[in-house]
Amino acid sequence: MQKVLITGSTGYIGSCCYEFFKKKYKVFGIDVKISKIKKQKNFYRCNLTHKNKLNKIIKIIKPYRDWETDRKSTRLNSSH
């Protein structure tokens, strides 16, 4: 199963994307805030400005795609 990483996964758009994509992909969420959404089983807490920690998470997950839903962040890594 292909893996998808959604940044900003605890926000409204990110959580909707998480729910939508989990039907077809193995979805991972990442956000600064701790996920209060119990459905997000594959969740990592990380500030996107911490490149070292973010790169470690990306190496662990090895996503097929990453979707950025946090409007304040900067795309640091794109799988495609």
Cα 43 to Cα 34, 60, 62: the distances in Å are: 9, 12, 14
CA gap 61, 29 in Å, rounded: 10
Residues of the chain with confidence (pLDDT) below 50: 73-80
Quote the pLDDT of residue 70.
55
In single-letter form, the type of residue at position 56 comes to K
pTM of the predicted model, to two decimals?
0.72
Quote the pLDDT of residue 74.
45
Quote the pLDDT of residue 69.
58
